[in-house]
Amino acid sequence: MNTLYTENFQAVRNQHDLTHWHEKVEIIRVIENEMICVVNGIEYHLQKGDICIINRLQLHRIYCDPNPDCTFQRLMIDTNLFSSDQVIYDKYVVPMLSDRTFTHIQGKHGNKFTSEVENLMDEIADIERLKPIGYEFHVIALIFMLCQRFYQYYELFKGKTKAMVNPDILLYRRISDFIARNYAEKLTLEEIAASGNISRSKCCALFRDYAGLTPINFLNLYRLKMSTDMLKDTTESITSISISCGFGQPSYYNRLFLKEYKMTPKEYRERMRNDNSL
């Protein structure tokens, strides 16, 4: 599914992404203020009007810096969309998305490429808001046009960067995947490090470099994120959610939730219900 939506990260609520990766191509466009986009551990400073296009399977996260709130658009493009035409998919899409040197595109506000991407994103947003009959066809056509722009940019720079496979990135992915599969269990730093067959100090260094967090902080933030989904989508009690997400004591869960989201789990659930009822 291809999804475009506008988000606001509020500094007072310490909002940010956890480092993650996925099969989709992700476009970040800064609408107000500025933010940091981190791709494979390298920080890129984005100002108002800048974009960052992140290739599939790249480690990335975004956060506001400095303190002001930031508003941005995020467009997620399912690359399976392009497989409907096997000739185009094999000739253009597969080589581009599989190129290990093609991690991302950073576009500065005002240049031709960025302006073209912005115009196409604006058109997608307008169509998805108005939803005329058969609007999905138009959205798909615009996404194909976006992909054509990506490919033109890719052709300009193809072969100018050496392929580098960073073993630390592979290790980080292995360990964070272990956390994602076992977050509901009681995990120690020793167990997290053992999942990658590395020392505790090496594990802490990996998470510092690629997540900006300690392994245990990452684990707790991942648990909190999973709990927000349950608060929104289920009627389970907060105590049950706390236990399901790996927090031993509901009081500890409430304390961490309040620190991270500046509201209690109960307040968060009520706010989500009120927003959905509008």
Evaluate whether the domain defined by 3-157 bears CATH number 3.40.50.970: no
Segment 258-272, tens digit of pLDDT: 998 889 999 999 988
Average pLDDT (61-79) is 84
204 with 215: CB under 8 angstroms? Answer: yes
- Please report which confidence band the pLDDT of residue 6 belongs to, taking 50, 70 and 90 as the band edges: confident
pLDDT(165) > 80: no
CATH architecture group of domain 167-277: Orthogonal Bundle (1.10)
In this structure, the chain runs to a length of: 278
Percent helix, strand, coil in the chain (nearest 5)? Answer: 55, 15, 30
pLDDT(251) > 80: yes
Q: So where are the chain's domains?
A: 3-157, 167-277
pLDDT > 70 in the chain, percent: 92
Segment 174-220, tens digit of pLDDT: 999 999 999 999 999 999 999 999 999 999 999 999 999 999 999 99
pLDDT(12) > 60: no
- Please report which confidence band the pLDDT of residue 244 belongs to, taking 50, 70 and 90 as the band edges: very high
CA torsion 233-22-47-64 (nearest 10°) is: 50
74 with 27: CB under 8 angstroms? Answer: yes
Residue in this structure with the two tokens 């389970």, named with its chain if needed:
236
What are the backbone angles phi and psi of residue 265, rounded to the nearest 5°? Answer: -55, -40
Whole-number pLDDT of residue 16: 72
